[in-house]
Structure 1
Amino acid sequence: MNMKAKNISQGDIANKAGVSISTVSRALSDAEGISPQIRENILNIADELGYRRKGLKTQSLNHIGLFTAYAEGKRDISSEFNYGILTGVEAECQRQNLQFSFVAMDPNLDSKEIKKTMLERIQSQGIDGVLLLRLDSPEVIKVVKKLDYPAGVINGEMTTPQLDLYLPDNWGGPQLVMEHLISKGHKRILHLTELKRNTIKKRFDAYKVALQHAGIDYDPELVIDTKMVVEDSYLAMKEYLKKDVDFTAVFCANDVAAVSVIRALNESGKNVPADVSVVGYDDLGVSEIYNPPITTIHVNCNALGVQAVRGLMARRNNPDGPAIRYELAVELVERKSVALLK
């Protein structure tokens, strides 16, 4: 049985690791002069024992760092979603008189490189609060937990809560979409998703449950698993149309995919919504001005960013409390891309 965190000392960690207390101290403070293997072993033992660095409860929160994965040259209209979150974080930091730094990292970096980049920025800029945007892999979460700063994940998903989560309702939103389409008579509903992304996978799970609740059999042939970016979604839909599978509506896991799907459908001679209805997700600006305007789920990205900052401040005052899950309510926005099935 592990000892309670309040009883754990650096000496306990040193005994289990077979090193000196000074070595433990250097490892926990990310000082130089320790091999990566020894440092990693000490951090793992500290995490296992539930050790928390002294002083955390009395420090004030002064500088929040928002870390995200961003591939230069790969931007598309989905960046509007992340920008909305960023502006919310920045605005709330200003209201609370907090410093703010935005750090964009290459998504292709491995966990060691991510850790190195984060530590360099945290130490050089005096960041003492961490928010992660689209960085929810187990490796990254592990790195952040070991920093022992108040931290949270925005628009991420974890099966076992380890950090505070701030995300839109990825379960209720798809239910609204499916109820809307089914109420219009649609049963053969194609779904574009990206199953390797945890938040998008949640929308897929909700899609399946909504079918079940409506008494409609789930058909794996009515699922396209692809990247939720413009070109990949477009090419995936073009290829899918060659199969000649029967469907009357498409639920896309984001608006980027919806735009691409409508383009592919139009090029194949199908009219939206006369022949096929299409629904997106996120309510990006393009969904309102596209032809036809796209029915979608509205997500208040700015509010997500604001709430994440407030949650980080609360976490600073209660570092040992259980991880929270904040889900922002979403709403269906009806436009012109869905028609009653004839």
Structure 2
Amino acid sequence: MSVTIEELSKHLGISVSTVSKALNDRADVSLATKERVLAAAREFDYQPSSAARNLRRGRTDKIGFVFNNAFTFISDYFAEVIVGATAAAENHGNNIVLYTNDGNSPESLLNLFRTREVDGFIIVWNHVPVAIIDMLLQANVPFVILGRRVGHKQASYIAPDNYNGATALMEHLLELGHRRIGFTTRPSMGRTNEDRFNAYKDSLQKAGIAYDPDLVVSTKLEWYSGYHAMNKLLDLPEPPTAVFAFHDFVAIDAQQAILDRGLRIPEDIALAGFDGLRTSLVTSPPITTVRQPLVQIGQESIKALLQLIENKNQPPIQKTLPVDLIIRQSTRHQ
């Protein structure tokens, strides 16, 4: 059975502070005392208290991952992000703790930090309001927003290149000859929605195609949202010949709506998504998508947060990572 430092001190007949200094290889302790303390520590299987050590260091070595979505809707996304995040955290001797927060009680984040439960936060929210960013900055809470670009100059984030990814997807559809291209938006996604929507509109303009608001349908993070949005597009007097779904889950919903109408993909209507989730590969046909480097996003977010924790004067870290267009049978015969 492991002993405490007090018991080790009593057994050796020296003070607790001397035992502590010996264990930490302090210069003001003789070599003979160090060897004696280390030998006793091995004999009695002494394990230093991480809580006490962290208290002295002013660190917990714990990182809070904060979500405001039900895991049901982000399971594929999270599965890849967490692989990179946990690997990066463990490489630096840190652990990850998961929290849920819907954004309606942001003060609870401050309480977690002030009570020293965590050293900082990775925030995985659809949209992070400026007021919450300001609150965290004013309280000197280290945080990084994962997967979302934000307009705040002082906020750190690691995000995919949504604009260029969406542009590449639109260019692909336009090169196939499509001129009526539908788009499903996701207003709750804030800057991510803006980047993809702007790329959609800019690509049409560059191709000399007038923007048609009837071809744009809003979706929500709920079951069958993509299915209903696709039906609205199919009910138009002149339906689109291709649809750019905001993300892969919306595309999967949309695919079912298309098939339920007895239409063929891509012969009657082409379909594409965004994110590169594994579920988009196992559909029939597999869905064209823009793949985010989710593992890398997880890794880079942890690395950025640790920099902010270590250096209180660290400037905000804002990094946009490249994405890849993955062309599959839902837009073009292979």
Q: CA deviation at 1:244?
A: 2.8
What residue number does 2:34 align with?
A: none
- Aligned positions of 1:199-238 closer than 5 A: 199-238=192-231
What residue number does 1:194 align with?
A: 186
- Aligned positions of 1:303-322 closer than 5 A: 303-322=296-315
In structure 2, the residue corresponding to 1:308 is in which secondary structure? helix
Quick check: which has more Rg, 1 or 2?
2
- Aligned positions of 1:128-277 closer than 5 A: 128-134=119-125, 135-198=127-190, 199-277=192-270
Matched, 1:118 2:109: yes
Post-superposition Cα deviations, 1:155-206, rounded to whole Å, max 9, x if no partner, equal 2232232211111111110011011111111111100111231212211111
- The runs of 5 or more residues in structure 2 that have no matched partner are 1-56
Q: RMSD across aligned C-alpha pairs, in angstroms?
A: 2.1
- Aligned positions of 1:33-44 closer than 5 A: none
Q: State the TM-score, normalizing by the size of structure 2.
A: 0.76
Q: CA deviation at 1:81?
A: 0.8
What residue number does 1:323 align with?
A: 316
Matched, 1:93 2:89: yes
- From 294, 297, 314, the equivalent of 1:301 is 294
Post-superposition Cα deviations, 1:122-147, rounded to whole Å, max 9, x if no partner, equal 34453112211115122321232133
Amino acid at match of 1:103: Y
Q: CA deviation at 1:277?
A: 0.3
Given that 2:180 and 2:240 are in contact with CA atoms closer than 8 Å, whether structure 1 keeps it comes out as yes
Given that 2:247 and 2:273 are in contact with CA atoms closer than 8 Å, whether structure 1 keeps it comes out as yes
Q: CA deviation at 1:228?
A: 4.6
In structure 2, the residue corresponding to 1:196 is in which secondary structure? helix
CA distance in 1, matches of 2:288, 2:144: 31
CA distance in 2, matches of 1:293, 1:71: 26
What residue number does 1:102 align with?
A: 98
In structure 1, the residue corresponding to 2:237 is in which secondary structure? coil
Identity of matched residues, %: 28
In structure 1, the residue corresponding to 2:281 is in which secondary structure? helix
Q: CA deviation at 1:317?
A: 4.3
Post-superposition Cα deviations, 1:17-37, rounded to whole Å, max 9, x if no partner, equal xxxxxxxxxxxxxxxxxxxxx
CA distance in 1, matches of 2:129, 2:59: 28
Post-superposition Cα deviations, 1:232-271, rounded to whole Å, max 9, x if no partner, equal 1112222332233331100011001101111111112211
What residue number does 1:63 align with?
A: 62
Given that 1:60 and 1:316 are in contact with CA atoms closer than 8 Å, whether structure 2 keeps it comes out as no
Post-superposition Cα deviations, 1:63-102, rounded to whole Å, max 9, x if no partner, equal 2111111347xx23x4311332233222211111013211
CA distance in 2, matches of 1:151, 1:164: 7
Equivalenced residue count is 275
What residue number does 1:81 align with?
A: 77
